[in-house]
Amino acid sequence: MTRWLVLIAVVAAVLLGAVALGPAPLGLVDVWRGLTGSAEGPAATIVRDLRLPRVLLAFLVGGSLSVTGAALQALVRNPLADPYLLGLSGGAGLGAVTAIALQLTSPWAVPVAALVGAIGAILLVYRVAVVTGSVLDTRVLLLGGVVVGAFAASVMGAIMALSPAPEVRNALMWLLGSFGRASWQAVAVFAVYAVIPLAVLYGLARPLDLLALGEEPARFLGTDVERTKRVLYLTASALTAVAVSLSGIIGFVGLVVPHAVRLTWARLHRALLPAAFVVGGALVVIADALARTVFAPLEMPVGIVTALIGVPVFVLLVRRWAS
C-alpha cells in the first residue's frame, strides 16, 4: 500500500511540475494563482487554458497507451506488441492525410478523419483475423495488422507524393505526435470516452493473466477464451484510435512501459494495469514538458522525446533484470 501512495505522490508532483514549466516565463506564484483561479489575465489563461488541459491530456493518453500495450502484449503473447502494431497508426495517418489533401478545413476534420481511418483499419484487421466462425487467430491478427498498416502507409505515401497541396507534408508533423491541440474540450472528450474501455480492460485483468500463460491453459482454467480475445482486441483498439486522433502517434510508451512495470512492480494485471496507467501517463507528461520547453519557443514532436528518455531507462532495467 505504501508503495502505491509513493507512486501517486510522485506522479502528482510530476503533473504539478509540468504545469509549472513552459515557454512562457511564469513564476510559481503566477502558476499557483492560475491554478486556484484567483487571478485573471494572460498568465492565468496560459496556465488554465493551455498548460493544464495539455498536461491532463498527455497523462490520460500516455496512461491509456500503456494499458493498451499491456493488454495487447498478453493477448498476442508477443513482447513486441504495442498499441499501434495492429495497423491502427497506418489507418489513422491515411485518414489524416486524406482530410488535409481534400482541404477540409473544419477544426475537427483531421482528428475525425484519423479516427475513421483507425477504426477502418481495426475492422479490416479484425475481419482478416476472424477465421472459421468466430475464432480470432492471434497470429493472423499480428500479421494482418502489420500488412494492413503497411498498405495504409503506402497509400498515404502515394497521396503525399502526388498531392498538389504542399500542406499535405505537414500531416507528417501531425503524425509524429503532439499535444498542441489539447483543450478542455479534448480532455473532456477523451476522459468521458476512455472510462469504459479502461474499465473493461481492468475487468479483464484475471483472464489476461490466464491468457498470458497460453490459450489452452486459459481455457482449462475457465476463461471464455474466444470472447475474451475479441473484446480485448476491439476495446484496446477503440481506446488507441481516439488517442491517436487527438494527439497523433506517440510511439514507444505502449511498448516499453508495460515491460518496465512488469519488471519492477507487478506481473499480475490487477496491479499491472493501474501501475502502467500512472507510469505511462507520467512518462508522457514529462516528455511533453521537455518537448515544449527545452528548445522553446520551438517545439519537438513528443513521440521523439518519449523514446529519447524511455529507451535509456528501459535498457538499464532490462540489463539489471537479465543479470
Bridge partner residues of 131 (DSSP): 135
State which of positions 179-198 bind other proteins (CB under 8 A). Answer: 180-186
Nearer to other proteins, 105 or 323 (CB): 105
Closest approach, Cβ 24 to other proteins, in A, equals 4
The answer to whether residue 165 forms part of the interface with other proteins (CB under 8 A) is yes
The answer to whether residue 40 forms part of the interface with other proteins (CB under 8 A) is no
Of residues 56, 116, 89, 32, the one with CA closest to residue 249: 89
Matching residue, cell 512518462: 283
The answer to whether residue 17 forms part of the interface with other proteins (CB under 8 A) is no
The answer to whether residue 23 forms part of the interface with other proteins (CB under 8 A) is yes
The answer to whether residue 46 forms part of the interface with other proteins (CB under 8 A) is yes
Matching residue, cell 498527455: 58
- Cell numbers that stand for 22 in this block: 513552459
Closest approach, Cβ 4 to other proteins, in A, equals 33
Closest approach, Cβ 140 to other proteins, in A, equals 36
The answer to whether residue 109 forms part of the interface with other proteins (CB under 8 A) is yes
State which of positions 285-314 bind other proteins (CB under 8 A). Answer: 292, 296-301
C-alpha 10/C-alpha 14 separation (Å) is 6
The answer to whether residue 51 forms part of the interface with other proteins (CB under 8 A) is yes
Yes or no: say if 292 and 22 are a contact pair by the CB < 8 Å rule: yes
Yes or no: say if 96 and 110 are a contact pair by the CB < 8 Å rule: yes
Q: How many residues bind other proteins (CB under 8 A)?
A: 38
**Applying CB under 8 A, which of residues 10, 37, 103, 221 lies at the interface with other proteins?**
103
**Applying CB under 8 A, which of residues 66, 73, 138, 178 lies at the interface with other proteins?**
178
Closest approach, Cβ 285 to other proteins, in A, equals 15
Contacts 24+ apart (CB under 8 A), 313-320: 313/260, 314/256, 314/259, 314/260, 317/259, 317/260, 317/263, 317/264, 318/259, 318/263
Yes or no: say if 86 and 234 are a contact pair by the CB < 8 Å rule: no
The answer to whether residue 173 forms part of the interface with other proteins (CB under 8 A) is yes
C-alpha 112/C-alpha 3 separation (Å) is 40
Yes or no: say if 276 and 258 are a contact pair by the CB < 8 Å rule: yes
Q: Which stretch binds other proteins (CB under 8 A): 31-39, 165-173, 191-199, 253-261?
A: 165-173
Whether residue 107 is preceded by a cis peptide bond, meaning omega within 30 degrees of 0, is: no
The answer to whether residue 242 forms part of the interface with other proteins (CB under 8 A) is no
Closest approach, Cβ 156 to other proteins, in A, equals 17
The answer to whether residue 106 forms part of the interface with other proteins (CB under 8 A) is yes
The answer to whether residue 174 forms part of the interface with other proteins (CB under 8 A) is yes
C-alpha 271/C-alpha 141 separation (Å) is 27
- Cell numbers that stand for 247 in this block: 494527439
Chain contacts with other proteins (rule: CB under 8 A):
22-25, 42, 45-46, 49-51, 53, 103, 105-107, 109-110, 164-165, 167, 170, 173-174, 178, 180-186, 292, 296-301
